[in-house]
Amino acid sequence: MSDKNKGNPKSNQSKLWMEEALLKLMHTEEYQEITIQEITAHAGLSRRTFYRNYSSKDEILEGRFYKIWMEYRSLLVQQTDLSLPNIAKIFFTQMQNHKDFLLLVNRHQLLPLFLAKVDELLPPAFNELKGETAPFSRESISYALAFSAGGFMRILIRWLNDSPQKSPEKMAAIVEDFIFICSYPNPPEK
């Protein structure tokens, strides 16, 4: 996410207009075909304004995802139950709140853009929530977070591709089943 002009009200309004323009264009055009000139023309802004705020159009989407992530993080901080099924419920509740945006981004196969952001944002969130009390090495935690982030992003894509999307409660139950399936020592004989 771009920190250019962060906190400047005029810049924030320009960013919002460019985000709206890009999303509108994504409904009718392929993402790769959308140009900066089209975005700024639809937003009623100059290319100079774009480059004052962003380095690329990807940063527009990253900024939107960052807002979604920060909302999710603030919900997690309020929780006392940090079990994986409860985290899944909160995650999918948040994703459901932004379903239209995520469906659009998924249609353009851009969700992998966000995985790098999750890899960047998850460790500080984990440290804030569990870091001091986690009885594991930093290396183990790092691998566990990478596994978790990748898994949740893949599950998110699967969830977005399902029609209709399952409720956050159902997704929490699926994650709980997943934990059991992964820890089941031996499959029953047939």
Contact 169, 92 (CB under 8 A): no
Class of domain 9-56: mainly alpha
Q: What is the pLDDT of residue 11?
A: 87
pTM (two decimals): 0.83
Q: What is the pLDDT of residue 57?
A: 96
Each residue's pLDDT expressed in tens, for the chain with a length of 190 residues: 556 656 678 889 999 999 999 999 999 999 999 999 999 999 999 999 999 999 999 999 999 999 999 898 888 888 888 888 998 999 999 999 999 999 999 999 999 888 888 888 877 777 777 666 767 787 887 788 888 888 889 999 999 999 888 999 999 999 889 888 877 776 666 5
Contact 117, 62 (CB under 8 A): yes
Residue 7 CB neighbours (<10 A): 7
Q: What is the dihedral of CA 103, 120, 58, 56, to 10 degrees?
A: 170
Q: What is the pLDDT of residue 161?
A: 94
